[in-house]
Structure 1
Amino acid sequence: MYTGLQHLHSGLAYLVLLALIIIVIYALLGSLSNRQFTDKDRKIALIGFILSHLQLTVGLILYFVSPLGFEMLKSGSAMSDPAVRLTAVEHPLVNIIAIVLITIGYSKAKKGSIPRARFRSIYMMYAIGLVLLLSRIPWVTWLG
């Protein structure tokens, strides 16, 4: 089960990153072209919203069944080793913050009335969330 969750979490990460990149560019172009914010635009942003929340859910499950997640935090050794700290503390905390920002961006765009502001809330909040996600990916283990 643990290995399957690791593969799902890693594979979903590629989809989330790709979706967020595409959505940020799409929303930026929508804002710059001054076009109307349509239901199609909202649904495109919803794809990134859903994928990021699905990734968060899988990540949280993995965090509690992994020997590198919550167990390392409980043992007290997480803060002294940078690699363990990344996995046990920084990766989950920063990624939760990123998902919160993506959620705020989607919610503001969904409730907004000015098209340009709706696009702006998506591309700004999703872009900040994307940068945060990219900053806390354990690149050594993910690509290595």
Structure 2
Amino acid sequence: MDQILKSAHSGWRYLVLILLVIALIQAISGWLGKKPYTGGNRKINLFTLIFTHIQVLMGLVLYFISPVVKGLGYWKMEHISMMILAAILVTIGNAKSKRGADDVIKHKTIALYFGLALLVIVAAIIRMVMADPSRSFFGIS
């Protein structure tokens, strides 16, 4: 069970990263191009939120059942803290974008919050590779 969940969690990160990049590109394009905030924008942001939350839930389950967490300090504090912070940023960005006064503000809000979340996630993955050289950024581990 532990290995299946670990592989799912590791592979799911690519879906989260792809959705974050797509949402970020759409948001920057909409913000700078002063484009309307469409139902498609709302849906990609919602899917990004859902996939991010699923990733965090899988990570929390692993946190409590995996023997790896008990061994490395990185897994105990840094990784989980950074990923929860990223999920919070995605959640706040999605919620605030719904209350934006106009379309440009909605796009700007998504761009800022999702962009910060993406930076946190990439930093956490890089830090993971540094903490455990047997893992790689692009390889499913």
The reply to whether TM is greater than 0.5 is: yes
* Aligned equivalent of 1:81: none
Q: Which deviates the most, 108-117 or 56-65?
A: 108-117
Give the Cα–Cα distance (whole angstroms) in 1 for the partners of residues 100 and 114 of structure 2.
16
Tell me how far apart the structure 1 counterparts of residues 134 and 102 of structure 2 sit (CA, whole Å). 43
Q: 1:40-87: CA deviations, max 9, x gaps?
A: 211111111111001001100111000122xx2xxxxx6xxxxx1211
CA distance in 2, matches of 1:113, 1:38: 14
What TM-score do the two structures reach when normalised by structure 1?
0.86
Number of matched residues? Answer: 132
Question: Alpha-carbon deviations, 1:94-128, whole Å to 9, x = none?
Answer: 11011101100000111222111100110110010
Larger radius of gyration: 1
The runs of at least 4 aligned residues of structure 1 exceeding 3 Å deviation read none
Is structure 2 residue 125 aligned with structure 1 residue 132?
Answer: no
Aligned alpha-carbon RMSD (Å): 1.3
Name the counterpart of 2:13.
13
Query: Cα 1:103–1:141, aligned 2, differ >3 Å: closer, same or farther?
Result: farther
What is the identity percentage for the equivalent residue pairs of Structure 1 and Structure 2? 34
The one-letter code sitting in structure 2 at the alignment partner of 1:60 is L
Q: Please, which runs of 5 or more residues in structure 1 have no aligned partner?
A: 73-77, 79-83
Q: Which SS does the other structure have where 1:68 is aligned?
A: helix
Q: Does 1:100 align with 2:93?
A: no
Aligned 8 A contact 2:90 2:117 in 1: yes
